[in-house]
Structure 1
Amino acid sequence: MIYGWIIGGLTALDLGIKSVVEGQEDGTFPRELPNSRGMIKLHKNHNSGFPFGFLKERPELVKVVPLMVISAMAGALCSLLQGKGKTAQKLGLSIIIGGALSNLYDRLVRGYVVDYFSIEWNRLKKVVFNLGDMFVFLGSAVIVAEQVVLSLAETAGKVRKK
């Protein structure tokens, strides 16, 4: 149950921010996020493709591929929910799905994804994100971190047995 709330909450948070950004005048962007000491800039970008506009000339693929991937992840999460444990995998998938659903909604309803902030540091200055993107990254990091910890624990266990 908690994983459904995580998915819904993260999706709603990102869609809410996107709605606020969309309601503002284009001429007010880009601008510095208050209290960010210049580290975060707000934007109002519309991306009709995958990251960096990849495949924007193929809108049907840009809609169908994420739908298939999210469906597969949701199926994996449902499978994991049948058993106990694997909390990090369940949490990671929930975070990923929450972010991905927000961007899928944009693609299906708006025809583009709303990206609205950049981190003003090195090469990241050139990339405009949204929270959905960050949730996909964070959820992936949770799953990878869990796998690293399990691998290290397994390796340590083999070393002790010798």
Structure 2
Amino acid sequence: MRKYFSTGLNWLWIALLVVLIDRYAKYWAVHNLTLTEPLPIFSVFNLTLAYNKGAAFSFLHNASGWQNLFLGSLAAIVSLFILGWLWTLSARERWTNIALCLVLGGAIGNAWDRILYGYVIDFFDFHLGDWHFAIFNTADSAICVGAAMLLWHWLRSPDRGSH
């Protein structure tokens, strides 16, 4: 047990928090929004319920169903990889641990949807006039923030080119 608290696994509460926020937000969206009907919040932002059977930007959305198994398996593999990575990190490496836990929580949140429904529940809809960015959710946001944090950390690392 002592080893657990000295590793990056000590930060798993962040992944759990991401999953809980994601589950609540998706529950709220399903019970308070009408499918594909925008609820304007700001001039450039709507809440619009959408079901995404594909990956980012609806890639593979029209595939015959194999994409859920593929994307769910990919999420499981990435999650196991992240857990292994967290095990090797010191709990003191806050930035990397937080970033990995954001990605892990987002991957679990979207995989949960795929397992339960066969699609991912999306609802954040940013737009400029008639041009709309891909509709996404809180899990997607956590994955993007975590990935950006990892990239930022890697770019700032003084030894990144020495290997």
- Count of aligned pairs: 148
Instruction: Among all aligned residue pairs of Structure 1 and Structure 2, give the percentage whose two residues are the same amino acid.
Output: 22
Partner of 1:32: 40
The answer (yes or no) to whether the contact 1:47–1:114 under 8 Å persists in 2 is yes
Please state if 1:9 is matched with 2:17: yes
Please state if 1:42 is matched with 2:25: no
For residue 111 of structure 2, the aligned residue among 86, 91, 104 is 104
In 1: Cα distance, 2:155 partner to 2:80 partner: 26
Partner of 1:117: 124
* Offset at residue 25 of structure 1 (A): 5.0
The answer (yes or no) to whether the contact 2:33–2:49 under 8 Å persists in 1 is no
* Offset at residue 24 of structure 1 (A): 2.8
Please state if 1:133 is matched with 2:137: no
In 2: Cα distance, 1:50 partner to 1:99 partner: 13
Please state if 1:146 is matched with 2:153: yes
1:100 match: secondary structure: helix
In 2: Cα distance, 1:77 partner to 1:24 partner: 37
Amino acid at match of 2:38: P
CA RMSD of aligned residues (A): 2.4
Amino acid at match of 1:74: L
In 2: Cα distance, 1:144 partner to 1:122 partner: 31
Q: 1:85-104 counterparts in 2 under 5 A?
A: 85-104=92-111
2:29 match: secondary structure: helix
For residue 87 of structure 2, the aligned residue among 78, 81, 89 is 78
* Offset at residue 27 of structure 1 (A): 5.9
Higher radius of gyration, 1 or 2 = 1
Structure 1: runs of 5+ lacking an equivalent: 156-162
Amino acid at match of 2:106: G
Please state if 1:23 is matched with 2:28: no
In 2: Cα distance, 1:41 partner to 1:144 partner: 29
* Offset at residue 123 of structure 1 (A): 9.5
2:32 match: secondary structure: coil
- TM-score w.r.t. the length of structure 1 is 0.80
The answer (yes or no) to whether the contact 1:118–1:124 under 8 Å persists in 2 is no
- TM-score w.r.t. the length of structure 2 is 0.79
Amino acid at match of 2:117: R
Structure 2: runs of 5+ lacking an equivalent: none
1:116 match: secondary structure: strand
1:23 match: secondary structure: helix
